[in-house]
Amino acid sequence: MAEENYASDLDSYSLEKARVELFETPEKRLGSVQALKDWAMQQPWLKTPTDTHFLLSILRARKFSQLGARELLVNYWTKQMESPEWFVGADPGSEESLQILRAGPTIVPLAGRDKCGRRILLFKVGNLDTSEKYYNTTSYIRTFHFLGDRLLLEEKTQVNGIVLMADFMNVSLKQQLWLGIDNLRKVLKYLQKSVPVRLKELHFFNLGPFFDAIFVTIKSFLSQKLQSRVFVHSRGLVTVYKHVDMSMLPVEYLPDEYQGPLAGTLQDIMEKFILEEYLDRKSLLFIQELHSGRYGVDLSIKPKTGDEMVASFRKLSVD
């Protein structure tokens, strides 16, 4: 059976959301994990971790559909093998990874959760260091994947999802070119088809005159459902405040007249996350194991018949 010592840390709000939106109940949870584990272990062409927490992230991302979960699990390892420079053999706790997380910082998980139980990621694009003196695009993307892995180990995040906020203040042409359209396409495709994430909203603000071209490009890589979840804030932060509680935002994003509780500066919030959450030893070891090179798919020996229903299964949108 699936791990008998597993204990869910979902609160009552998240349990109810899991029941209503994901068709998950405590009674069926471990049986569903065991069914997916049994299937995975019977595939000689697939090597994957089969612990309960990991397989639950896959099942939740596909609303407990066994066929959908199988497809996602295969996509997860297939895409990682297609871009090994982003994954294989890297250390999430390395000095380079910690330097990249702290630099700027660029992608910051805000403290706490919003009223819907979601994690909010703030992407300050203008903080990207394009000098490549210490690290390059590949190093950035690899480290950002590590950060995502850490968040997706959280059961509440698996159920409630993630909100991405992208701040384009002072983004230079050099930074746009450095990111690269091909990298952007690969990352967005990977997020939608191969990562067990429920991406609930995307917010873009502090937009420059070049944004129209960027936005057209970004939208072309998004599914119809995700396109409907994009919010463009053309009035600065005024409309952002309607979506994100001010108490979660860095002080750099608050109006002068704000008198409520403070989460700290961008750097304060990032440092707190690193020390209190990211550097959790158990999580780091698991993420390192994920990218050890021991897992993946060998499609050359995957049967051409018998499991084709997975390949032809109706594509499930990110939800």
pLDDT of residue 106: 93
Choose the weakest-confidence range: 24-38, 148-162, 224-238, 259-273. Answer: 224-238
The pLDDT of 41-54, averaged and rounded, is: 96
pLDDT of residue 210: 67
What is the spatial distance between Cα 108 and Cα 178, in angstroms, rounded to a whole number? 20
Percentage of the chain lying above the pLDDT 90 cut: 62
| Lookup: tokens for 262 | 């403070």
Summarised one tens digit per residue, pLDDT across range 128-178 is 888 877 788 888 889 999 999 999 999 999 999 999 999 988 888 788 777
Residue 221, SS3 per DSSP: coil
What is the spatial distance between Cα 267 and Cα 264, in angstroms, rounded to a whole number? 8
- Give the distance, in angstroms, between the CA of residue 2 and the centroid of all CA atoms in the same chain: 25
What is the secondary structure of 237-277 as a DSSP string?
Answer: TTTGGGTS-GGGS-GGGS-TT--S-----HHHHHHHHIIII
Which of these, 292, 232, 303, 264, lies nearest to 105 by C-alpha position?
264
Percentage of the chain lying above the pLDDT 70 cut: 92
What is the spatial distance between Cα 64 and Cα 181, in angstroms, rounded to a whole number? 34
CB under 8 Å to 272, separation ≥6 — which residues?
111, 264
CB under 8 Å to 149, separation ≥6 — which residues?
92, 287, 290
Q: Are 101 and 274 in contact (CB under 8 A)?
A: yes
Which ranges of the chain would DSSP assign to H, the alpha helix? 12-22, 26-41, 52-61, 66-82, 95-102, 137-152, 155-160, 173-179, 181-193, 211-220, 224-227, 266-273, 281-290, 308-312
Confidence of residue 32 (pLDDT cuts 50, 70, 90): very high
pLDDT at 72 over 80: yes
Name residue, tokens 């997860």: 76
Name residue, tokens 């949108």: 317
Residue 44, SS3 per DSSP: coil
Which of these, 135, 248, 251, 151, lies nearest to 191 by C-alpha position?
151
pLDDT of residue 307: 47
Which of these, 74, 77, 72, 78, lies nearest to 57 by C-alpha position?
72
- Give the distance, in angstroms, between the CA of residue 210 and the centroid of all CA atoms in the same chain: 26
pLDDT at 4 over 80: no
Enumerate the β-bridge partners of residue 46.
297
Bond before 105 cis per omega within 30 degrees: yes
- DSSP summary character for residue 316: P
| Lookup: tokens for 236 | 């600065």
pLDDT at 275 over 80: yes
The pLDDT of 217-239, averaged and rounded, is: 85
The pLDDT of 14-28, averaged and rounded, is: 96
Name residue, tokens 């970004």: 218
What is the spatial distance between Cα 191 and Cα 203, in angstroms, rounded to a whole number? 16
pTM for this model (two decimals): 0.89
Confidence of residue 5 (pLDDT cuts 50, 70, 90): confident
- DSSP summary character for residue 220: H
User: In this predicted model, which residue has the larger pLDDT, 94 or 319?
Assistant: 94
- DSSP summary character for residue 46: E
The pLDDT of 1-22, averaged and rounded, is: 88
